[in-house]
Amino acid sequence: MVRKEQWRPSPRSPLNVFVGWDSREDIAWQVCRHSLQRRTHGSVNITPLKQQELRAKGIYTRERDPLASTEFTYTRFLIPYLMDYQGWALFCDCDVLWRADVQDLFALADERCALMCVHHDHRPREETKMDGRTQTLYPRKNWSSLVLYNCGHAANRILTPDLVNSQTGAFLHRFQWLQDEQIGSLPETWNWLEGWSRMPESGPPKVIHYTRGGPWFPNWQNVQFADLWIAERGLLGQ
């Protein structure tokens, strides 16, 4: 049996956030974590979702997929299991910049939903993204890039390591284990896609997602809100 005590939510940290971690984008993870912590007034437990650690524990055994764009392409769906199917937990990609208090996002949690996300109709025009990786089109694209999981919802009990290690990307990223009404909707400002989303009428986006690529890549220095990301990195002394 896999031991996973270190993944249990801390009783002193009511908010649990998992951030996708990729060895090619460690600086993106650092800036994401820093921006989230700096704007959160409550206690938050932020965990990098590292594939190699999950493999070492025998939790993640999926064969390496050459089409996976990140090391956390599939591991994000293990979060209800890692939370022992209890409480709420947030997942977000590492290529985001937090501009608001994550407590305000958790406040939107609806117990009737198995998970909540922004219901994007994302149809990117570019053929490549980030460091030359192929940009792909598929239904519900980017819905799984920021997910508020109701880990205790009965419908999420299906998300065992065996299922995550064997199911198709389409099944997982399109949330096909759920009924449509179990997928709650979040305002787009909580997963604002640079280069695609319209500017919110309420002001600057709360979470900026550099989904095409961000300023940590040499070819993506002039994207919208690059200055904010660079300024946040500067606070890390890097």
> What was the pLDDT predicted at 223?
92
> Which residues sit opposite 207 in a β-bridge?
98
In whole angstroms, how large is the CA radius of gyration of the chain? 17
Q: In this prediction, what percent of the chain has a pLDDT beyond 70?
A: 87
Count of C-beta atoms within a 10 Å radius of residue 22: 21
Coil vs helix vs strand at 66 = coil
> Residue 91 corresponds to which tokens in the numbers above?
């997942």
Q: Which residue has the higher pLDDT, 31 or 67?
A: 31
Assign 70 to helix, strand or coil: coil
Show the tokens assigned to 142: 């980017």
CATH of the domain at 188: 3.90.550
Q: Which of 13-22, 119-128, 131-140 is least confident?
A: 131-140
- Give Cα separations from 219 to 60, 117, 128, 184 (angstroms): 33, 29, 12, 35
Question: Which domain covers residue 44, as residue numbers?
Answer: 5-235
Q: Report the percent of the chain where pLDDT is more than 90.
A: 73
Mean pLDDT computed over every residue of the chain: 89
The pLDDT, as a whole number, for residue 110 is 97
| Tokens standing for residue 127 | 């053929």
CA-angle at 56, arms to 54 and 62, nearest 5°: 60
The pLDDT score that the predictor gives to residue 137 is 58
Give the total residue count for the chain.
Answer: 238
Helices and strands (H, E) in the chain, number of each type: 7, 11
**CA–CA separation, 215 vs 229, rounded Å?**
7
* Between residues 144 and 132, the one the model is more confident about: 144
* Tens-digit pLDDT profile for residues 167-213: 999 999 999 999 999 999 999 999 999 987 888 777 789 999 999 88
| Res. 84: pLDDT tops 50 | yes
Instruction: Indicate the pLDDT class of residue 32, thresholds 50, 70 and 90.
Output: very high
Ranking 63-67, 125-129, 217-221 by mean pLDDT, the lowest is: 125-129
Task: Report the alpha-carbon distance of residue 42 to residue 68 in Å, rounded.
Answer: 34
How many distinct structural domains can be found in the chain? Answer: 1
- Are the CB atoms for 99 and 205 separated by under 8 Å? yes
Task: Tell me what pLDDT residue 66 has.
Answer: 83
Sheet of strand 115-117: strand arrangement: 44-49, 15-20, 88-92, 146-150, 115-117, 183-185
